[in-house]
Structure 1
Amino acid sequence: MPMTLTRIVVNRSHRQARLDIANRPGMHKTLMRLLAHPAGPTPRKNGGLLFRLEPGLDPVLLVQTADTPDLTGLPGGYGTTDTRDLTPMLTALTPGLPVRYRITAAPTAYRPTGAPPDSVTGRRPRGKITTLQGQDAQAWWQRQAANAGLHLTGPTETLRRPFPSPDRPAPFYKLTQFDGTATITAPDLLATALREGVGKGKAYGAGLLTLAPA
């Protein structure tokens, strides 16, 4: 299955772009227009849409899709774009290969609420989803990385990414960026993680894992 990554240098003077930077659900709606053939009850997942906003004087959107994106779906003047095929990168994944990684993710866990078990099934409620921070977030990423076929080889740098979305507050809107080095242990698992993303909040700018040569 093909996979592409589009780099969009966002035009801060564009009204819709400014609104999207301040509201990720709106950004998600804008980027869904890049899917040439959205289909089924989960079009984002079917289209392989993942994205990450990298802030700065010239904010950059990294947008991953399963197929070549329909760039005409972006509002005119939204930003400058460059798309590349990720197939060569996927085919180059080999055990022991050192890489640098970056991911902005939503570390979460279900915490017990103290509610009694269900009177019929005897099962306790799943609990309340909670954002993880500090060492808990680090431990979460270490587990996720191992499940994704990566062995972390150096210290992990973290940076909290506030999630500006005043209309829909939710736990997984609190994002953390993880940067570091790793070696590949399981190329098949890593390819799946790259395609499908990691963790929750994928429709809101979380979960896109990117790699570069170490």
Structure 2
Amino acid sequence: MYLTRIQLDLTKTKTMQALVAPKLFHGAIECAEPEGRTRKLWRLDTLNGNQYLLILTESPLDFSEVVRQFGTGTCAETKKYDVLLDRIKNGSKWQFRLKANPVVYKKIAQSKRGKPVAHITTAYQEEWLEKQAAKHGFALEEDQWLVTESKWYRFRKGDSRQYVRILAVTYEGVLTVTDAECFQLSLMQGIGRGKAYGLGMLTVAGEH
């Protein structure tokens, strides 16, 4: 696995458009692998006043076109992710960040799974993550995590007149790994819905 970071240039019109309609980032990322579509996760991050595009891929890809469209400089920063994955052990504690789409499925006629409805209150958003933690190999440290942002996106789906409306909720704090193998999969595959729109990517740093 490889983690790529691209600093965004907020003076570019294309960048500002993509910050409103994340599908533009998704399309550019997919174009970096024209021969086949392997699993990718991506997310927007803010650090020291700068905005970055983080991309997790199975193999190193050429993101020069993504940099040209949205980034500063001439190249992206890429490093092996396996180094971090190998450090994941049961009982280890980490600072984490997750941007996700917390939903509950409401039963409707002629649907086995139901319709996804976004959790709009902080209490339900927190409850959602607690349930996800139990299924993804980690436990949340009590009073050491919180919801830091809740933001709606609304944009056209492809070239159609249909709109996508999706809620992005950012969680940050401290977690403890309870099942190392399961947690590694969560880091590689993400959590929840909306991965094409920059959601579901869980990252950890600063092992305690």
Pairwise same-fold verdict (TM > 0.5): yes
**What are the Cα deviations for residues 158-190 of structure 1, in whole angstroms up to 9, with x where unaligned?**
03342433324445x101111111111111101
Count of aligned positions: 196
Q: Which residue of 1 aligns with 2:133?
A: 145
Give the deviation of 1:54 after TM superposition: 2.1
Q: How many angstroms apart in 1 are the aligned matches of 2:35 and 2:179? A: 30
Q: 1:45-194, aligned counterparts within 5 Å?
A: 46=38, 48-55=39-46, 57-74=49-66, 76=68, 78-80=70-72, 81-113=76-108, 115=109, 125-133=112-120, 134-155=122-143, 156-168=145-157, 169-170=163-164, 173-194=166-187
**SS in structure 2 at match of 1:188:** helix
- The RMSD of aligned alpha carbons is 2.1
Higher alpha-carbon deviation: 82-91 or 70-79: 70-79
The answer on 1:7 being equivalent to 2:2 is: no
Q: Which residue of 2 aligns with 1:30?
A: 28
Give the deviation of 1:12 after TM superposition: 1.1
Q: Which residue of 2 aligns with 1:121?
A: none
Q: Which residue of 1 aligns with 2:160?
A: none
Give the deviation of 1:200 after TM superposition: 0.3
Q: Which has the higher strand share?
A: 2
**SS in structure 2 at match of 1:95:** coil
TM-score, with normalisation over the residues of structure 2? 0.85
Give the deviation of 1:157 after TM superposition: 1.2
Q: Which residue of 2 aligns with 1:205?
A: 198
Higher alpha-carbon deviation: 202-211 or 134-143: 134-143
Greater radius of gyration (CA)? 1
- 2:153–2:167 CA contact under 8 A, matched in 1: no
Instruction: Report sequence identity in percent.
Output: 24
Structure 2 unmatched ranges of 5 or more: 158-162
**SS in structure 2 at match of 1:53:** strand
Sort the Cα spacing of 1:38 and 1:182 in 2 relative to 1 into closer, same or farther, 3 A.
Answer: farther
Structure 1 unmatched ranges of 5 or more: 119-123
Q: How many angstroms apart in 1 are the aligned matches of 2:133 and 2:118? A: 18
**What are the Cα deviations for residues 2-43 of structure 1, in whole angstroms up to 9, with x where unaligned?**
x111111101122322221121111110121233x652xxx2
| 2:55 alignment partner AA | V
Give the deviation of 1:75 after TM superposition: 5.2
| 1:210 alignment partner AA | T
